[in-house]
Chains A and B, each alone.
Chain A
């Protein structure tokens, strides 16, 4: 990987912004053609591609280190346990948690949020308590709370968003009250790219006596995250949106709050003693990791974090920010295109509609051109309802994307308008 500066001005004369990363060679899949065309992979909000370092780390684990953890007296088991614990410490450093035991490995963001709902939520919430979410949440930060509300009689309250896709902070303040037990907010909107001021929101929520969970699924790969600076009680993210494997993610939980939480799944690895009269449970994080975990996945995730740190999260953020500006200008300049989500602070997500072409049709036509995007409601149906649309087309960026990918996107939209005969719309 090299840092390229002084890149030539691109074809349409856009000035070159921040320095460009040149990391595509580290991601072998990007070299495979799709439909005979160069792949422009712009569906990173769904999942990112994996660098060789991650693929190799998983492979090496199975080749050289595989054994179950926490139970073997034999060398391989101890070795695997050390690697697993080291992976936990890598996650801890990555998000600047104070202690490694504040990191619980999960299957991903969804499981992390469900863990909090079913462990903390069922123990703490009573009928009439309130959970505050926002209109821009992913279904995985809505439905677990709805299930919890059904179980406890708690009530879900929703902070609205503006036409630009920004949180209504006055409404947030107005909705916070002494009944608010939990504020569950996304760090970055997966459908719009809006970045929420989570540190500020956490401070206000804490002042009202509420616990705060931040859904970091769309944030950790795109900007530096410091859970102590945010001050939140829980922070959830997935490995596979961070260049790591699927099936692994992490929940950060403040030590004092994790210590007080009951287990949510029972099984091996999470107990201290078991008898038929009564079992006692291990300390966190083991208390929340029943059964054999995704050991290779955790090691793969650590390799992904090492890779991201090597490239530099600040450089990734700067690169994606410049590319988003380039993409926003290029797509917005197309006649008949409407951007959805124009918040002042955005991470690498560009949602849009093309006049006269349903997002699903657009997705098919772009795919034929080798351009991979997501079309649909992005698991954020309440947000689509808010904007009165069935869905959007979404291009989402990663560190390996370049202006060539954006140029391919723009050319493919042009082709779709040709095919549909809608060039003169708008």
Chain B
């Protein structure tokens, strides 16, 4: 908690506004072979992640739901980041992305567009907004029955 106040432009970058206004891969997927629900009971964010996995590779991914700008943009960016990637790589990216928001020092790797969410580090109460989609994705992959929660 610094004295001068957090820099909101670090948190709300233009890419985040863009993905909040026009989320990518925002659609239900009737042909999905994996899906999971995520819920953040504290702020009411709710989403469903759909996956189609073939030969250990994410062939298609989408989501529906509602949430704040951070959670919507994070879900949208996530779908772009993992499409076409092997599941093992996706799980490793989840691990590193989580560390990017919560660990000091953050892991050194190229996060691509996901790096715009690094500003969330400075807003600890918003970390759960940025990670909800990823926790839900993880549950979809491992076939967890209970909805993902970040609380």
Binding site for B on A (CB under 8 A): 33, 35-37, 357-361, 364-365, 368-370, 375-377, 381, 384, 390-391, 419-421
Contacts and interface: CB of A to CB of B under 8 A. Distances in A.
A360 B17 contact: no
Given A364-B123, A376-B44, A391-B43, A358 B5 contact: no
Contact of B44 (A370, A391, A419, A420): A391
A36 B4 contact: yes
Contacts of B126: 360, 364
B69 A36 contact: no
Contacts of B123: 364
Interface in B48-83: 66-70
B115 interface: no
Contacts of A419: 8-9, 12
A248 B126 CA distance: 31
Contacts of A360: 43, 45, 67-68, 70, 126, 129
B29 interface: no
Interface in B1-38: 1-6, 8-9, 11-12, 17
Contact of B5 (A37, A377, A391): A37
Contacts of B3: 33, 35-36
Given A357-B69, A360-B70, 17 more contacts: A36-B3, A36-B5, A37-B5, A364-B8, A364-B123, A364-B126, A368-B5, A368-B8, A375-B43, A381-B44, A384-B44, A390-B46, A390-B66, A390-B67, A419-B9, A420-B17, A420-B69
Interface of A is mostly: mixed
Nearest to A375: B43
Contact of A358 (B1, B8, B69): B69
User: In the complex, which of the residues B6, B11, B43 has the most CB atoms of chain A within 10 Å of its own CB atom?
Assistant: B43
A376 B129 CA distance: 13
Nearest to A390: B44
Given A35-B3, A36-B4, A364 B11 contact: yes
Contacts of B129: 360
Nearest to B2: A35
A376 B45 CA distance: 10
A35 B43 contact: no
Contacts of B5: 35-37, 368-370
B142 interface: no
A376 B68 contact: no
Given A358-B68, A390-B66, A35 B44 contact: no
Contacts of B92: none
User: In the complex, which of the residues B3, B8, B45 has the most CB atoms of chain A within 10 Å of its own CB atom?
Assistant: B8
B140 to A, nearest CB: 22
Contact of A376 (B2, B9, B42): B42
Contacts of B43: 359-360, 375-377, 390-391
6 contacts: A35-B6, A360-B45, A364-B123, A384-B44, A391-B44, A420-B12
A155 B54 CA distance: 49
Nearest to A35: B5
A368 to B, nearest CB: 5
Contacts of A375: 43
A138 to B, nearest CB: 15
A417 B17 CA distance: 12
Contact of A361 (B6, B9, B42, B70): B70
A369 B5 CA distance: 8
A412 to B, nearest CB: 11
Contacts of B46: 390
B45 A390 contact: yes
A20 to B, nearest CB: 28
B61 to A, nearest CB: 23
A368 B12 CA distance: 13
Contacts of A368: 5-6, 8
Contacts of A421: 17
A389 to B, nearest CB: 9
Contacts of B44: 376-377, 381, 384, 390-391
A377 B126 CA distance: 16
A40 to B, nearest CB: 14
Nearest to A358: B68
Contacts of B4: 35-36
